[in-house]
Amino acid sequence: MRYRFADCELDTESRILVRHGEPRHVEPQVLDLLILLIANGPRVVSKDEVVEKVWQGRVVSDETIHSRINAVRRSVGDTGRAQAVIRTLPRRGFRFVADLEASCGTSPDVAAPAREQGLSLAVLPFANLSGEAAQDHVALGMADQLVTTIGQVPWFYVADQSASFAPQVTSLSAAQIGQRLSVRYLVAGALQVERELLRVTVRLLDTSSGRRLWSTALTGRRDRLFDLQDELGRQIVGEIEPRLRQIEIRRSEDKHGDLTAYDCYLRALTRMRLMDATALEQASGYLLQAVEHNQTYAAAHGLLAWLATLSLPQGQSNSAEAGRHHAETALRFGTFDSDALATGGYALGFLLRDPESGLRHVERALALNPNSVRSHDHAGWLLLYAGRLEEALDRFDEALRRAPIDEFAFRSLTGRAFALLFSGAYGAASEAAGRAHTAAPSYTICQRVLAASLANEGRIDAAREVIRDLLHLHPKL
């Protein structure tokens, strides 16, 4: 069924919400709630009915329900003050109040995006160790928010909380949960309370072995709960994404026989990190295999487009036409993939010499996944090309803050060095470029900004040494 209301169109068969003509990323549970309210038309849907239909009868707090209602409103351009689409009736429930037009069939203009194989995990409900029953909803709400936050990472498949929070699942061992939910990793946590402080501990487990892969602990004030939730989400995505990516890459490298498109994508990523001509050529080969397996694999097309922007500065031939093709393909098929939108948008802005147009796509990527380190980095470079130096510095710093162990951090450090150089902060530019060069000796872009920064500092001999190293790597530059 297809519904039109306000400036939105919802196709319940493909589960795609379009607003202002653009498909919108909506968390599955939020979409379930929207569909429930629409299906009941002008009838008031009680809180108990919402819990029964959306949460399968589990105990949830009023705060959680209202948080989801507000998420529904945001997705359709409504607010709690206006209530032009979803109205709250105190002590009664919720009602869909916008004018609604219904028709059968699937919209021909919007196709559900194909999703390549990815990494699978489940978030378990957090244990409440405080001894206060009143904190049960806080522990549950934190885990529930993590499902949403981690689910924003495009190559993570996150089991729905209705399955991972079920009592018959949480009592099982890690291996049993992995088999039951078909996931490879688990995120588990616990909540402790001491006076006005909340302490949250989180650990990442491998379901095949039960081994702890990573853990962290955060402390915050009880009256700043949402700040603590946001920081927990940022830290978990920033820490576990690069760790799990490396584990998945090693798993792929050990694989023999036919490679899937996802295997090819992972192998390309590890080659791109090296940034030398041979590695980039190998990465290109793997990515071409990936898109041969799956022509609509948006993230792989995005990396191919990014490679086109890296080739010329690294001393290789550059095919701008092929790069534009892959960038446009990434944007066409990557409507809900923040990685594809970020790399495709960056490449298009670079290749067309139109950073502002590229930024629009990267901002869409950040709307889908605010914790995407690559998106912040690509935004920083486009802002740098546009001459918006302070904004570029902010984005590079944000990328470095969100993923302290990111394997591509040298890119953000290099961009930061350029922004500082152009701002006249030569010493700070030399420091950032030096860190980038140490992390990626074959990345010639950082050698160039390092040499320029050192020369502007008056350290001419050091600058000459960097140039000699650069010419040794690429004699034809």
Mean pLDDT of the chain: 86
Q: What pLDDT, on a 0 to 100 scale, did the predictor assign at position 98?
A: 92
Q: What pLDDT, on a 0 to 100 scale, did the predictor assign at position 118?
A: 61
Q: How far is the C-alpha of 92 from the C-alpha of 253, rounded, in Å?
A: 57
Cβ burial 408-423 (10 Å sphere, 16+ → b, else e) = bbbbbbbbbbbbbbee
- The most confident of the ranges 171-175, 315-319, 333-337 is 171-175
Q: What pLDDT, on a 0 to 100 scale, did the predictor assign at position 154?
A: 75
Mean pLDDT score, 23-46? 85
**163 exposure class (CB count in 10 Å sphere: 0-12, 13-18, 19+):** middle
Looking at domain 308-473, which CATH architecture does it have? Answer: Alpha Horseshoe (1.25)
The secondary element (H helix, E strand) that includes residue 296 is none
Those residues with Cβ within 8 angstroms of residue 147's Cβ, 6 or more apart along the chain or in another chain: 123, 158, 160, 161, 164
Q: How far is the C-alpha of 134 from the C-alpha of 62, rounded, in Å?
A: 13
Label residue 394 by pLDDT band (50, 70, 90).
very high
Closest C-alpha among 19, 221, 228 to residue 110: 19
User: Is the pLDDT score of 108 beyond 70?
Assistant: no
Assessment of whether the complete model's pTM goes beyond 0.85: no
Task: Decide: 377 and 306 in contact? Cβ < 8 Å.
Answer: no
**300 exposure class (CB count in 10 Å sphere: 0-12, 13-18, 19+):** buried
- The most confident of the ranges 45-54, 244-253, 310-319, 387-396 is 387-396
Residues of the chain with CATH 3.40.50.10610: 119-253
What are the angstrom distances between the C-alpha of 416 and each of 335, 390, 453? Answer: 29, 10, 12
Q: Determine the 3-state secondary structure of 89 from DSSP.
A: strand
| Amino acid identity, position 40 | N
pLDDT tens for 187-215 read 999 999 888 888 999 999 999 888 999 89
Residue 211 φ/ψ, nearest 5 degrees:
-70, 140
H helices of 111-224, in order, are 136-151, 161-164, 167-170, 174-181
User: Is the pLDDT score of 113 beyond 70?
Assistant: no
Q: What pLDDT, on a 0 to 100 scale, did the predictor assign at position 54?
A: 84
Q: What pLDDT, on a 0 to 100 scale, did the predictor assign at position 14?
A: 65
Label residue 253 by pLDDT band (50, 70, 90).
confident
Q: How far is the C-alpha of 5 from the C-alpha of 432, rounded, in Å?
A: 51
DSSP 312: T
Q: How far is the C-alpha of 259 from the C-alpha of 364, rounded, in Å?
A: 31
Choices 3.40.50.300, 3.40.50.410, 3.40.50.10610, 3.90.1200.10: CATH for 119-253: 3.40.50.10610
* Token pair recorded at residue 101: 């037009």
Cα 472 from chain centroid? 38
User: Is the pLDDT score of 387 beyond 60?
Assistant: yes
Residues of the chain with CATH 1.10.10.10: 2-103
Q: What pLDDT, on a 0 to 100 scale, did the predictor assign at position 318?
A: 63
User: Is the pLDDT score of 476 beyond 80?
Assistant: no
The secondary element (H helix, E strand) that includes residue 209 is none
User: Is the pLDDT score of 122 beyond 60?
Assistant: yes
Mean pLDDT score, 332-353? 91
Q: What pLDDT, on a 0 to 100 scale, did the predictor assign at position 67?
A: 84
Label residue 116 by pLDDT band (50, 70, 90).
very low
CA atoms within 13 A on the CB side of 421: 24
Tokens 């899937």, residue located? 260
CA atoms within 13 A on the CB side of 210: 5
Label residue 85 by pLDDT band (50, 70, 90).
very high
User: Is the pLDDT score of 88 beyond 60?
Assistant: yes
Q: What pLDDT, on a 0 to 100 scale, did the predictor assign at position 450?
A: 97
Q: What pLDDT, on a 0 to 100 scale, did the predictor assign at position 442?
A: 86
H helices of 135-260, in order, are 136-151, 161-164, 167-170, 174-181, 225-253
2-103 adopts what CATH topology?
Answer: Arc Repressor Mutant, subunit A (1.10.10)
Label residue 62 by pLDDT band (50, 70, 90).
confident
- The most confident of the ranges 25-29, 75-79, 230-234, 416-420 is 416-420
pLDDT tens for 272-331 read 988 888 899 999 999 999 999 888 899 999 999 999 998 766 556 667 889 999 999 999
Q: How far is the C-alpha of 382 from the C-alpha of 166, rounded, in Å?
A: 45
What are the angstrom distances between the C-alpha of 388 and each of 309, 353, 359, 363, 391? Answer: 20, 15, 12, 15, 6
pLDDT: is 18 or 350 the higher one? 350
pLDDT: is 276 or 463 the higher one? 463
* Token pair recorded at residue 451: 């040499």
Residues of the chain with CATH 1.25.40.10: 308-473
